[in-house]
Amino acid sequence: MDPSADCDIVYYSTKSVYSETKGQAPEGIPFLSDFSSISDSATACSLEYLNEGGANLVFRITPAGAKSLPEALSGRVLRLAKHSREEAAILDHDDQELGAHNPLSEEAQYRYWVKVLGDEAVLNHNVVRLSGSMKDLINSLLACADRSEHRRAHAWVGGRTGFLVEDMTPQEGETLHEFKPKWLDQSPSAPRGATRCRTCALRAMRSVAGQSTATDLQGFCPLYLFTPRAKEALSKVFHDQAIMDHITTELMPMLSTLRDYQRRHDEVGIVHVQRHAHKQNEDELIKLGQAMTARDCTIYCLRRRDGSVKARIGDLDLKSCTQDKVEKWLLLEQKLINGGWYEGEDEVCLLSNG
């Protein structure tokens, strides 16, 4: 059968190819298209819907026919942003050429987090160009996919770039564990003498409102990670001793760096930031967005068949500090403060049980 007849077949090329809107794509940037004429050396491969979250769609990449995948695709999944990113902040002076409106800005973000956390810590990904006609192919796959009921009506809006991301999907005999370390230090806006940390205060408020998330239901206080009781706290999230051992030994330098990063990039708190908004410059707002990004990342731990553990940190897409976003963060913080959620005894939080 001709692979081009299958609706899930795409073609991958590493050569510079013609873009319908911007002429030649940059050298060195690979290309995915649903038509085989992009390059004589293009490799056919198949896409399969894997999963999705609030921000991204993820597709498994498999060989089409007898051919094996190119090395650049082996062990990778295709990640597509659900919403078009119209702007992106400049992360540091080395990446200024990848500023606002540049489709490669997320690649700059990846390089930035590698500098902060280390190459072995961050979930690896590389940018890939997409043909304009990929939108129809992706939406045809979504129409046939086993998606959550509340997501079925949402089609992909399209885009000119995607990312080839390190695949952490467990194979036979393997298990994948993930958790969000959240706020690794207390909120700078919390009242003095608080008996709940920011993570536990939000968990308590959501619980009363009947709005608990999966992370809330784990009943985990991140402040315990830096105490001798770290494994005891992690046992509420994991039931695998090897995973807990790995987190409390191999991952501690990275977690300490992440905590220090959160502190440095939000030293005064959202209440102070909003109160002095007229004095804020773009750099300070970028720092706040970086802090909030570091507070919402995910750590993926893959338990291999041989008992070893591979861990990576992901979900590091920079949170933009638009006026609406800052006001949303402020409103939530005010609810926690004014509602007394930072106060009261809490059986989970370190601040109540330290």
Domain assignments of the chain as residue spans, ordered by start:
3-166, 175-353
The CATH number for 3-166, chosen from 2.60.300, 3.30.200, 3.90.930, 3.20.20, is: 3.30.200
Copy the structure tokens of residue 215. Answer: 């992370």
Distance, in Å, from the CA atom of 96 to the CA atom of 105, rounded to the nearest integer, reads: 9
* Residue whose C-alpha is closest to residue 314's, from 210, 224, 196, 180: 180
DSSP state at residue 318: P
* Residue pLDDT tens, the chain, 354 long: 333 334 578 888 776 444 444 444 444 578 888 765 555 567 888 999 999 987 889 999 998 876 788 888 999 999 998 875 543 333 333 344 333 334 446 778 888 999 999 989 999 888 888 888 899 999 999 999 999 888 888 999 998 888 899 999 999 999 999 999 999 999 999 999 999 999 999 999 999 999 998 889 999 999 999 999 999 999 999 999 999 999 999 999 999 999 999 999 999 888 877 665 555 567 778 889 999 999 999 999 999 999 999 999 998 888 878 888 889 999 999 999 999 999 989 999 999 997
Separation between Cα atoms, residue 54 and residue 168, nearest integer Å: 19
CA dist., res. 336 & res. 209, Å (int): 13
**198, 187 contact by CB (below 8 A):** yes
